[in-house]
Amino acid sequence: MAMPYYVSPEQMMQDKAEYAKKGIARGKSTVVMEYDAGILLLADNASSLNKISEVYDKIAFAAAGKYSEFENLRKAGIRHADMKGFIYSRKDVNARSLANAYSQTLGTIFSQEAKPLEVEILVVELGETAAENEIFRIQFDGSIFDEKSFTVVGGKAEPLYEALKTRYQLTGLEAAIKICVEAMEDSDQQKVPPTSLEVAILDRHRAERQFRRLGADELSAALSA
């Protein structure tokens, strides 16, 4: 009689985590950063398959890793938010409950499925003032982190985080874009042209839906200013 394999839970978790980390490390990075009138979301992404998305009036989603996996999570988030806003009111939709839902989902998949999701997710909410902004980072295993000022997900996240740490300050939008792109170029050791970036903002000056994408010409203008 063949004996079933025994793999210790520690070993299994470690293998899964390694697998997920490797998958995420292959991709490019995505940054979110606060600026004086909002939150900037910037992904190194030349394709039309978006990594950044509007979720609700003041809430945005950004991800890194495997597209097909985070795209499903993005849609689930929009459904969660729209349903909650419709049943209760638009004011009752917040990033914290959304981030918790993501954390639960990723955690369950990590512990129960054979293959963990190779994704890292950011859920951000624009507050009335910069102090009330919320930035949540959710890892492949469901661990959730409450970040301040800026954060990075995806491949090469650590060098980019370090590069941002030395540069970060609360500035206007154009300066914030410059800081992000310079940090990206620095940690990547290569030029990042505006056409290879996907950029959006949550803009406090906008009424109702505060999410807006920035086009390549707006980016070039900001970078040459």
Partner 1 sequence: MGDFDFDDPGSSFHRLLASQHPDMLSPRLDQANAIPNIKDLSKQLPHGTTVLALQHRDGVIIAGDRRATEGYSISERRIKKVHKTDATSAIAIAGAAGPCLDLIRLFQVELEHYEKLEGEELSLDGKANKLAQMVKANLPMAMQGLVVIPIFVGYDLAQKKGRIFKYDIAGGQYEETEYYAIGSGGKDARGTMKKIFAPGLTKDKAIRVALEALYDAAEADVGTGGPDLIRGIYPNVKVITEKGVEDIADEKIATAYQTIIPPQKQGGS
The whole-angstrom separation of Cα 107 and Cα 205 is 36
Least distance (Å) between residue 108 CB and partner 1: 14
DSSP letter at 156 equals T
Q: Choose one: 76-84, 119-127, 128-136, 156-164; the region binding partner 1 (CB under 8 A).
A: 76-84
* Interacting residues with partner 1 between 51 and 70 (CB under 8 A): 53-55
* Interacting residues with partner 1 between 106 and 135 (CB under 8 A): none
Least distance (Å) between residue 50 CB and partner 1: 6
Residue type, position 61, single letter: F
Q: Which is nearer to partner 1, 82 or 174 (CB)?
A: 82
Question: Contact letters (x/-) for partner 1, 139-168, by CB under 8 A?
Answer: ------------------------------
Which residues, including other chains, have CB under 8 Å from residue 14's CB and lie 6 or more apart? none
Number of residues that bind partner 1 (CB under 8 A): 15
Q: Choose one: 17-25, 80-88, 142-150, 155-163; the region binding partner 1 (CB under 8 A).
A: 80-88
Using CB under 8 A, which of 87, 114, 131, 207 touches partner 1? Answer: 87
Q: Choose one: 72-80, 114-122, 130-138, 152-160; the region binding partner 1 (CB under 8 A).
A: 72-80
Which residues, including other chains, have CB under 8 Å from residue 85's CB and lie 6 or more apart? 56, 92, 93
Using alpha carbons only, what angle is made at residue 33 by residues 216 and 30, rounded to the nearest 5 degrees?
65
HEC per residue, 22-88:
HHHHHCCEEEEEEECCEEEEEEECCCCCCCEEEEECCEEEEEEECHHHHHHHHHHHHHHHHHHHHHC
